[in-house]
Amino acid sequence: MINHLLVLPRLRIQNANAISSPMTWGFPAMSAFVGVQQVLERNLPDDIKLVFNEIGVVCHHIEPQVTEGGFIKAFHLTRNPVDKSGGTAAIVEEGRAHLEVTLLIGVESEGDDLSSAERRRAIAQTLFDQVQGMRIAGGSVMPAFDTQQRNRPELISFSATESERVKQWRRLKRRLLPGFALVLRDDLLTEHTTTLKAQDESATALDAWLDLSRLNHECLVEQVKDEKDGKEKEVVRWSVRRPYRGWLVPIPVGYGALSDQYDPGEVANARDPSVPFRFVESLYSIGEWVSPHRFQKPDDLMWFVENDLDRGIYRLQNDYADTVAQD
């Protein structure tokens, strides 16, 4: 249960990375925002003693930098200078998007006094100012349009009383509208895999993932009587098949090991030769965009790291599906 929640509202991010994995594009991967949480925690001022546990993201606006028109979209690419031979340099495709998001970070006190409202305001403003100079998902944080500072950062200490806690969360949810938060739906992927296997034993989790990631149009042939002569004729109707309700999307959730772990410096050209190295590949699941007013508690939209080092699994987790199952 989250007792303290840091709210960094309406951050405008320019040119964030829109290619979230080798197989998906659009909203940045949640691992990018977990990275922001970790960098922010590592660079805390000496007088702020907090521990960051989880992070949630509410997206208020997204503007992918792509061409418009037709059935196929293409990213806007930069024109790079010529190379040393005078020839045209190769273009490495980079997807970008402009975002407006609110970050919610679950924190714990590690010796800091969070009972004082004045102290909480000071911490929230300090961390909000610090975020302004950071990169988020590869993008730059831009100055806010809100010159009146109506959307101020806040560090909320939830009450121990359940009724008061519910009121605090309701007030915060109103601040998060309009917007959508991404949550994890591993349960739907598992359920749909079972459904497809019942129809075809060769079906895999990848088949279920692809099936949930697209719009499936089905052709239905019906026998209808003609109003003029009363004869039956075949009428073709098309319908969209949706196995589940909700705005479902394919998402990357972490990495799986492809090799053993190598000692620091053993692999040439590693980004950081001072830490162990391991070859990995992306892990995928299904996510759902949910409006904040539907969350019963702040824990529902929070993401946290849940690694299994013995199996070589480095992934993120979210508990929204557990709340849905209880309802």
Return the percentage of the chain with pLDDT > 70, whole number: 98
Question: If phi over 0 gives left and psi between -120 and 50 gives alpha, with beta otherwise, what is residue 312?
Answer: left
> In 3D, which of 102, 104, 124, 103 has the Cα closest to residue 112?
124
Return the percentage of the chain with pLDDT > 90, whole number: 73
Question: Average model confidence (pLDDT) for the chain?
Answer: 91
Contact by Cβ (8 Å): 260, 247: no
Contact by Cβ (8 Å): 174, 167: no
Count of CA atoms in the C-beta half-sphere (13 A) of 126: 16
Res 115: pLDDT? 87
Minimum mean pLDDT range among 133-137, 157-161, 213-217, 294-298: 213-217
Bridge partners (DSSP) of residue 3 are none
Bridge partners (DSSP) of residue 280 are 257
Residue 216 has pLDDT above 90, yes or no: no
Residues 6+ apart with CB under 8 A from 229: none
Output the six-digit token pair for 151. Answer: 């959307």
> In 3D, which of 15, 17, 33 has the Cα closest to residue 25?
17
More confident residue, 87 or 275: 275
Residue 157 has pLDDT above 90, yes or no: yes
Distance CA 102, CA 204 (A): 36
In the numeric block, the tokens 């007013």 are attached to 293
Work out the pLDDT band at 232, boundaries 50, 70, 90. confident
Res 155: pLDDT? 95
> In 3D, which of 46, 17, 11 has the Cα closest to residue 30?
17
User: pLDDT tens across 236-259, in order?
Assistant: 888 888 889 899 999 999 999 999
SS3 of residue 29 by DSSP: coil
Res 223: pLDDT? 83
More confident residue, 183 or 148: 183
Q: Give the residue-averaged pLDDT of 291-298.
A: 95
Cis ω before 178 (30° cut-off from 0): yes
| pTM summary value | 0.89
Residue 68 has pLDDT above 90, yes or no: no
Work out the pLDDT band at 43, boundaries 50, 70, 90. very high
Res 14: pLDDT? 95
Cα-based distances in Å from 150 to 102, 144, 173:
14, 11, 15
In the numeric block, the tokens 């409006």 are attached to 291
Work out the pLDDT band at 88, boundaries 50, 70, 90. confident
Residues 6+ apart with CB under 8 A from 104: 5, 6, 7, 8, 55, 56, 57, 58, 298, 301, 302
Distance CA 321, CA 327 (A): 10
The amino acid occupying position 102 is T
Minimum mean pLDDT range among 16-25, 78-87, 110-119, 295-304: 78-87
Q: Give the residue-averaged pLDDT of 277-296.
A: 96
Res 220: pLDDT? 86
Displacement of CA 244 from its chain's centroid (Å): 20
Contact by Cβ (8 Å): 4, 18: no
Res 282: pLDDT? 95
